[in-house]
Structure 1
Amino acid sequence: MSWHSQVEPAIIQGDFWQVSQFYQELIEKEPLEISHYWYLGLAYLLEAREEEAQTTWLFVLSQGDEGEMTAWTADLVNILDGEARRQLELGNLETSWLIRGHIREISPDNIDNLLRFILLAINLNYFEKEQLKTWLFVDVLKTNDFQSLELSLLAEVLEKFLDSQIPETVPYLEAIFQSNCQRQTFIKVVEAKLPSLGIPLAIDIINTCLAVEPGQIYLLAELYQCYFYNRDFAAAMQVASQLKTSCQGLPSQAVADFLALYVKLFSGNWVDIKADVEEYTESLQKTIANRECPRLLDKPSLAILSPLVYLEDNPRKNRYISNCVGQLFQGYVCNNYKGNSLHKSTIKDTNKVLKIGYIAHTLYNHSIGLISRWLMKYHDYNQFHVSLYLVSQKEDLITENSFRNQVNACYNLQIDPLMIAEKISQDNIDILVDLDSITNNTTCQVMALKSAPIQVTWLGFDASGIPAIDYYLADNYVLPADAQEYYREKIWRLPNSYICVDGVEVA
């Protein structure tokens, strides 16, 4: 059903007074044709005569019996829905939203309309979370079959709900999954949005997905992180066990074995770790023997090396493992980015002001930030141009006062290793200093891409073993005299101490 052709010119011009006059005259001629009243009310609505529109529709609907009311309501909703879509195509979001609001009042259980109404409200900034309760959103979900709805509509609403961190996202997902829609379509939407969600909601949403699609490696890993950061270590251990089962025989197995061990070490549960240590050690040996970079799905990981120094005081053995895995890691990263290793190998002009870059995710009220801030204060900025590359980190007063306000340039960049590496390369950084080491996989990937002629690791952790890193800063106390025999990086020993601070705060 559509407008009569006689009123199309007036509709194009937006002259709905003419349209309403046409339908008034048509009703006088054909008073029994119910659809004329629907179009007359719609013309009133578009003419900003909202009360008259409602009166017209409700008066006619009140004249029919139950069967007629059902059929007439369906016809009216169909007409209003068509106009709402037309207005949306014209870019008239507010008018489309107004029409859908009236459909919601006429047919409150119409889930397709309700979802489109909510989308428009969000896009127009009219939406408030509390309104979902007023609209009985969860009740409407339970009484509808989602199979007839457009997948793109369902996915778009899910994206908006996740962006707004709406609690009703959980029953909404449950309703979608119960209707046997294409579940992976919606799980991919969830996976893309998880990094921006608060931990409690993320836990509920991930568990909702795993209830219908168990064994999803990425979701299990994210659930582990949520429980870990929430310090619910018992739950994290349970998820780690599930992750190990899902990763059995895959390149991800080494990472799963690491996570299962790490949560026990971190939480102080050292009593019952013998089996976990054996499985972790075996996974590392297989990684080296098979020449496979340890990774979770397609995300390479060097963080899995961190337990080595806690399990055995054997630096020669540990460095061999780290160097082997570091080489596999660099090869995988460069291959993953289609050979985009930037391979800057020389500083062309040694007499210029050197450009030094520092990369980290911890330059705030964190041990690395508290230590390295003094270097930023006492740099000789006549000899060095200093840039900071923050890896998607939070910022606080220490970030602002001790870092941003001290250096020549500071960038807080998204988690995109190639983009960060290209930025550093474009900035013509001469010496890139890594403050994270193996504590941040994004930083490790940037270092593997060799975006500066000279690359150095300082603080963070032990050296990473990545071949693209030239130097490791130390002193005569933190490493033994023969350490160079088993370190890949050239050890640059500072004369007194590799760490200098100018005071610390006392709580």
Structure 2
Amino acid sequence: MTTQLDNQISSIPTWLTIQQYEQNITENTREVYNYWYLGLALLLEGREEEAQITWMTPFLEFGEEESEQSLQQLTEILLNAAQQQEANSNYQIAWVVRQHIREFVPDDINNLLKITELNIDLKIHDQETNINQLIKTISQLTETPVFDENLLVKVIEKLVHPDPVSPPPFIDKLVEAFIPYLLTSETIIKLLTEKSDAYHYFFYQHMAICFAKIALRLEPNNLECIRKIISPLQRLGLNYTKESISWANKYLEISQEPIDQIVGTQFLLEALLTSCDSWEKTVQAYQKYKLFLSNLVITRIESESLVQILAIGAFLLYMEDNPQENRLIRNKIAALCQELISKKFPEYISTYQQRFHSPRPSLSERPLRIGYLSGCFRTHSVGFLAWWLLKYHNRQQFDIHLYSLSEVSEDPQQQAYKNEFGDHFYQGYLPIVTIADQINQDEIDILVDLDSLTSYGNCAIVALKPAPIQVTWLGYDATGFPNVDYFIADNYVLPESAQDYYTEKIWRLPQNYIGIDGFTVGTPTISRESLNIPDDGIIYFSSQTGVKRNLHNIRLQMQIIKQVPNSYFLLKSHRSNHQDLQDFISPIAEAEGVDLNCLRFLPSAPLDTEHRANLAIADIVLDTYPYNGATTTLETLWMGIPLVTRVGEQFAARNSYTMMMNVGVTEGLAWSDEEYVEWGVTLGKDEKLRQQIAWKLRLSRQTSPLWNAKKFAREMEKAYQQMWQRYIDNQG
């Protein structure tokens, strides 16, 4: 009957409804539904006083038992009406209806929450007053309330959204009021953490942190909640990274399982390095990190929690140049994780394998289908470097598909990718099996992972092996998964012995593993005058993330500055507060006898084009070790600036080496710490040598394979064809 009359209300003009119900009441005074709907019709017409009188009439005329039943009927009708108005976006009318529900049932928590939400949407009055009334109602309850936890989360979300950095205190009071009724509910913790994940993915980090902190209050030792606080803090960078140190330490205090200790130590290492905190603490954290990883591969723990460390291992590259040992650790971790994924998703892997065993097309039958997998098809080093290869691909011979794990945004580089590849640009933050299925359904022949150890998602997808051939290019280093077939390198970036400690077959391109057409350079925002550096001063420059700052390497840099008269050192760290960098560097400089007046600490430039323009002020750039520059080295060489780099053994310690060899410059290549200092001093004192190198670098723009992206694309395509032919031959 309620549904029928609801439909009647929505389809008949109000005046006719009022007239009809008044007639019905005259004919049958004891049918209460007529009073309820007449009152509702009057209310919808704005005649509130008449509506209230109409509703009160049956209560005054019927007995107490009947009144209780009638009240329930009335509130149900009003609730249906409110929900109908909300569905039609008539929020003001819905708010009025709910106020009357509140009069009849003042302790209906769902109704009070909905009124709060409508208050926020309509900006009706002070939210604090309304929240305090809600809290008061909750505190006076004698029975456990029944309420919609989704609605509570939505209200909290709308209250927090205007200022997630410093949310109003009354939000904490609201959460506290509900805590006694939430402590046993896994549902709301799941709701809150899912909200945190969503905001983190879409770069609303403060909202992500806020929801994770609320969830943590419900379960104070919940490691998942703490992880969801640390990750956004570290994504925000600067001073927030320092805050993440205390959270990482809390995580480690609570952790009992080896996997959790590894994750916690990874968080701590990233925070300490990025914020340029105590080097002693960093070394201690690294020693524990490596020990935890080593013990894990020895004990071969098989646990669902292994998925948390799919992409673990990057800090082995930052802290030491020891691939013979560290690559083996990473390889064993990857093998363990792959075993876990095989057991977790056997049906998917079996489906993919069945396709691989079907007859494969030859190179003459159809274009090779190449899939590129990355979370960085946007303004990012990987997004920029990959663009050149993808731009110059021969679309007649190669069918290119891009699988983006990044959020949809207005980012110009992302828009360029979308425009270039159209419906072959597949984007979505989806379960890994969904993306793997898409890759498999697209019948990708060769899947190229661009992110490697920078991406959990990429690692999980390649572990499922949705394509018959899988390749790693760019990223930090190879992932170590046994089912990744090739790692793209060249004859310089990895020594000949490297195959001994890689599970992937190292595929060496004939000249260089990267090729671009160059950079766009903007307008400089710094000058010698603005930095108080004389015209004849020798300017050394270093621009790297905090994680690449290594105490031993900094000492060598200070020895160079000390030995070159009238020299100045400009330092800049992306994602690190430049004051933190200064606090870290200055004591090292003083210990090495360097005058602090020689140092200049620069904030990050807001635009890449501005950063490159500012590079022009440098006479020499000093590279980092054991993790060299990559994009920063390319920028340095493009700008025609001499570079001093320490060449090591691991991939990350040879990026600058291969790039310099490919532009024909060997001056500045150091094979020991002593040579690093010698080259730094020599280049600082020998202006003529600097000019010769700068001239070589300018000429290289026309001759070097490093600056010929089209030629590089042909070399990569040749490699793909050879990989596929080898696969076909082995299948036969």
Q: Give the conservation status (yes or no) of the 8 Å contact 2:112–2:134.
A: no
**1:326 aligned residue (329, 334, 341):** 334
Instruction: Tell me the residue number matched to 2:363.
Output: 350
Stretch of structure 1 that moved more, 170-179 or 417-426: 170-179
- Give SS of 1:143's match: helix
Deviation string, structure 1 residues 182-203 (Cα, Å, up to 9, x no partner): 3422111111221223322332
Asked whether the equivalents of residues 472 and 486 of structure 2 are also in contact (C-alpha less than 8 Å), the reply is: yes
Q: Tell me the residue number matched to 2:558.
A: none
1:229 lines up with 2:235 in the alignment: yes
Distance 2:520 2:314 in 1: 29
Structure 1 pair 383/11, CA: closer, same or farther in 2 (3 Å)?
Answer: closer
Q: Post-superposition shift, 1:466?
A: 0.5
Matched, 1:474 2:476: no
Does the 8 A contact of 2:367 with 2:397 survive in 1? yes
Moved more, 11-20 or 297-306: 11-20
Q: Distance in 1 between matches of 2:88 and 2:395?
A: 55
| TM-fit CA distance, 1:471 | 0.4
TM superposition shift of 1:345: 4.7
Answer yes or no: is the 8 Å Cα contact 1:162–1:169 preserved in 2.
Answer: no
- Separation of aligned partners in 1, 2:173 and 2:67: 28
Q: Deviations over 1:341-366 (max 9, x none)?
A: 22365744232211111000011111
Decide whether the 8 Å contact of 1:10 with 1:19 is kept in 2.
Answer: no
Does the 8 A contact of 2:21 with 2:37 survive in 1?
no
The gaps in structure 1 that reach 5 residues or longer are: 65-70
CA-CA distance at 1:77 after TM superposition: 6.1
Q: Does residue 398 of structure 2 align to residue 384 of structure 1?
A: yes
Could you tell me how far apart the structure 2 residues matched to 1:190 and 1:502 are? 46
Q: Secondary structure at the match of 2:362?
A: coil
Give the 3 Å change call, closer, same or farther, for CA 132–350 of structure 1 in structure 2.
farther
TM-score, scaled relative to structure 1: 0.83
Conserved in 1, the CA contact under 8 Å of 2:39 and 2:55?
A: no
Matched AA of 1:356: I
- For 2:502, the equivalent position in structure 1 comes to 487
Could you tell me whether the CA contact under 8 Å between 2:78 and 2:98 is conserved in 1?
A: no
Alpha-carbon deviations, 1:230-272, whole Å to 9, x = none? Answer: 2212221111111112222353222122222222122222232
Match of 1:362, SS state, is coil
Structure 1 residue aligned with 2:110, among 109, 112, 120?
112
Query: Quick one: which of 376, 379, 386 aligns to 1:365?
Result: 379
- Confirm whether residue 45 of structure 1 aligns to residue 60 of structure 2: no
- C-alpha contact 2:310 2:337 (8 A) present in aligned 1: yes
- Verify: 1:447 aligned to 2:495, yes or no: no
Equivalence for 1:185: 187
Measure how far apart 1:113 and its partner are: 2.0
How is 1:92-491 mapped onto 2 (pairs within 5 angstroms)?
Answer: 93=87, 98=93, 101-105=96-100, 107=102, 110=107, 111-117=109-115, 128=121, 130-131=123-124, 133=126, 136-145=129-138, 148-151=144-147, 153-159=148-154, 162=157, 166=161, 171-179=173-181, 182-197=184-199, 198-231=204-237, 232-269=240-277, 270-292=279-301, 297=305, 299-341=307-349, 342-343=352-353, 345=356, 347-351=360-364, 352-395=366-409, 396-402=411-417, 404-406=419-421, 409-491=424-506
Q: CA deviation at 1:107?
A: 3.6
CA–CA distance in 1 between the matches of 2:263 and 2:391? 39
CA offset at residue 52 of structure 1? 3.8
Q: 1:89 to 1:258 in 2, by over 3 A?
A: closer
Q: Deviations over 1:443-485 (max 9, x none)?
A: 1111111111111000011101001110000111111111111
- d(CA) in 2 for partners of 1:482, 1:292: 30
How many residues end up aligned between the 2 structures?
484
Percent identical among aligned pairs is 26
Shift, 1:430, TM fit? 0.7
Aligned residue for 1:456, secondary structure, equals strand
User: How far 1:427 sits from its partner (Å)?
Assistant: 0.4
With over 3 angstroms needed to count, the CA separation of the structure-2 counterparts of 1:494 and 1:115, relative to structure 1, is same
Asked if structure 1 preserves the Cα contact closer than 8 Å seen for 2:306 and 2:340, the reply is no
Q: Is the 8 A contact 1:294 1:329 kept in 2?
A: no
Task: Deviation per CA, 1:147-199: give whole Å up to 9, x if none.
Answer: 54324x23344247548964686554333214456342211111122122332
**How far did 1:214 drift?**
0.8
SS of the residue corresponding to residue 340 of structure 1 reads: helix
- Tell me, in whole angstroms, the C-alpha distance in 2 between the residues paired with 1:84 and 1:181: 32
Q: Which amino acid is the alignment partner of residue 474 of structure 2? A: L
Work out the CA distance in 2 between the residues paired with 1:148 and 1:17.
43
Query: 1: distance between equivalents of 2:124 and 2:7?
Result: 38
Q: Distance in 2 between matches of 1:393 and 1:155?
A: 24
The separation in 2 between residues aligned to 1:227 and 1:284, in whole angstroms, is 25
Against the structure 1 CA distance between its residues 467 and 407, is the aligned structure 2 distance closer, same or farther, given a 3 Å change threshold?
A: farther
Pick which of 338-347 and 389-398 moved more.
Answer: 338-347
- Give the direction of change, closer, same or farther, for the CA distance of 1:245–1:129 in structure 2 (3 Å limit): farther
Change (3 A) 1:505 1:237: same
Please give the secondary structure, in 1, of the residue aligned with 2:312. helix
Counterpart amino acid of 1:138?
I
- Following superposition, the deviation at residue 367 of structure 1 comes to 0.5
Which has the larger displacement, 141-150 or 220-229? 141-150
Distance 1:491 1:90, change over 3 A: same
Give the Å deviation of 1:400. Answer: 2.3
Contact (CA 8 Å) 1:438, 1:464: kept in 2 or not?
A: yes
Is the alpha carbon distance of 1:46 and 1:118 closer, same or farther for their aligned partners in structure 2, counting shifts above 3 Å? farther
> Partner amino acid for 1:196?
A
How far apart are residue 42 of structure 1 and its match?
Answer: 4.1
Higher relative contact order (CA 8 A, sep 6+): 2
